[in-house]
């Protein structure tokens, strides 16, 4: 059965989002699709845009990261058309998700965001989750946007050490 390549790429993205219990970033999805040379980056961006427009996936943006998740409509669409994904592609996706599961999950489980508060300060929110349970949620107020950005970047790089330090000091 011949099918539109864009339809296949949309189904691949839906299948990936359906197989994980957490949100995936655009770079995580891109990593798989571009590594396997299924399509180009530009085409993938069009596919993601189409999936968002048709509300088959939704996007949440924190800092400079966009996290994607499948919607109920996306689940329904995948259940009807998922059989159009070849066994070889399903195997590639399953292998990728299995090999990278911990890395993908850790990336999705750690978030950092900031915003300007009504007082003029910048509020940062640093979160680390495990199985949808917040392990730590730290809010800090700082005077400048640059400081907020530095704190958020530092959280991505040092969250495990910070969590370990807090646990040692508090217990």
Q: What is the pLDDT of residues 10-55, one digit of tens each?
A: 999 999 999 988 888 888 899 899 999 999 999 999 999 999 999 9
Burial of residue 29, with CB atoms counted within 10 A of its CB: 0-12 exposed, 13-18 middle, 19 or more buried: buried
Taken in order 61, 111, 55, 15, is the CA torsion positive or negative? Answer: positive
What pLDDT score does 58 carry?
A: 95
Average pLDDT over residues 54-70: 86
Pick the more confident residue, 157 or 121: 121
Integer Cα distance of 97 and 105 in angstroms: 10
Q: Which helix (H) or strand (E) holds 124?
A: strand 122-130
| Separation between Cα atoms, residue 133 and residue 73, nearest integer Å | 26
What mean pLDDT value characterizes the chain? 88
Residue with tokens 């996306």: 74
């Amino acid at each position: 059965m011949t099918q539109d390549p864009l339809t296949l790429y949309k189904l691949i993205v839906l299948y990936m989002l359906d197989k994980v219990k957490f949100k995936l970033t655009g770079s995580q999805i891109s990593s798989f699709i571009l590594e396997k040379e299924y399509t180009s980056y530009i085409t993938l961006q069009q596919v993601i845009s189409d999936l968002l427009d048709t509300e088959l996936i939704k996007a949440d943006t924190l800092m400079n990261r966009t996290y994607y998740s499948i919607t109920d409509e996306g689940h329904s669409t995948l259940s009807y058309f998922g059989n159009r994904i070849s066994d070889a592609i399903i195997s590639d996706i399953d292998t990728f998700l299995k090999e990278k599961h911990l890395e993908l999950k850790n990336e999705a489980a750690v978030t950092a965001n900031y915003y300007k508060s009504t007082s003029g300060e910048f509020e940062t929110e640093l979160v680390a989750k495990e199985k949808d349970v917040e392990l730590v949620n730290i809010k800090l107020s700082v005077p400048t946007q640059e400081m907020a950005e530095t704190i958020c970047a530092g959280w991505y790089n040092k969250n495990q050490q910070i969590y370990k330090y807090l646990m040692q000091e508090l217990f």
